[in-house]
Amino acid sequence: MNNNKEILEKVELDDLSHEEMGDNHIASSADTPLRPDAFDRSNEEKIEIIRKHFYSIMEALGLDMEDESLKGTPERVAKMYVEEIFCGLNPENKPNAKKFSNKYEYGDMVLEKNIQVTSFCEHHFLPFIGKAHVAYISSGKVIGLSKINRIVNHYSRRPQVQERLTLQIADELEKALDTQDVAVFIESKHFCVSLRGIQDMASSTVTSEYRGAFKKSDVQQKFIDYIKTKTEM
């Protein structure tokens, strides 16, 4: 049954043009599409390749690349791509979510609210920014609260689709905490919607993933109620 579903989904994707996939924000995979040789080059090599290509892009746009204000832009953009906004592509940067025993036997929901999400849409390379709310119920293990923020940041720092980002955070929490009882809720504003195409400045996109105990309506509602509660200091 699953194989048939995957075949059908592949046929549907094959029927779409690249332009349609981008305009409709359709992802081809729940995993970030990476080549097997993605990390054969050093960061320095990647920066130099991107610098050259971005120089060509700026030049093609008609910009004066001898201007003092623009000369350093290709280098700055290349470093930003590799070392900052897309650093989550490199598995070496993945946070080490060390587990601790839940010695105090806290058995209720742990919720980390209003985690800043800064990512880039993989279809237009424009940012989408917003907030993530992440919760789990311990199965006997806990992780440091800051590690939840780091997990969200790690998977955000790559070309993304919001639905995939939501699933990747949930997957990582499951592995880090040895529990299926996790929930992820993300609301963000996509600049590829507000700055191009429909140019809708007001809309936002919401995605969620509920697993384990969070599939129960009462637990899910409690999670939503906690999100709505004004707790900002």
Residue 190 annotated to the active site: yes
Residue 160 annotated to the active site: no
Q: 123, 133, 154, 209: which is the annotated catalytic residue?
A: 123
Residue 53 annotated to the active site: no
Q: 124, 133, 160, 168: which is the annotated catalytic residue?
A: 124
Q: 25, 133, 160, 162: which is the annotated catalytic residue?
A: 162
C-alpha of 170 from chain center: 11
| Residue 190: strand pairing partners | 128
Q: 25, 121, 154, 209: which is the annotated catalytic residue?
A: 121
Residue 122 annotated to the active site: yes
Q: 122, 160, 168, 172: which is the annotated catalytic residue?
A: 122
Cα distance between residue 97 and residue 59, in whole Å: 44
Contact 164, 30 (CB under 8 A): yes
Cα distance between residue 91 and residue 48, in whole Å: 21
Residue 124 annotated to the active site: yes
Q: 25, 168, 190, 209: which is the annotated catalytic residue?
A: 190
Residue 162 annotated to the active site: yes
Q: 133, 168, 192, 209: which is the annotated catalytic residue?
A: 192
Active-site positions? 121-124, 162, 190, 192
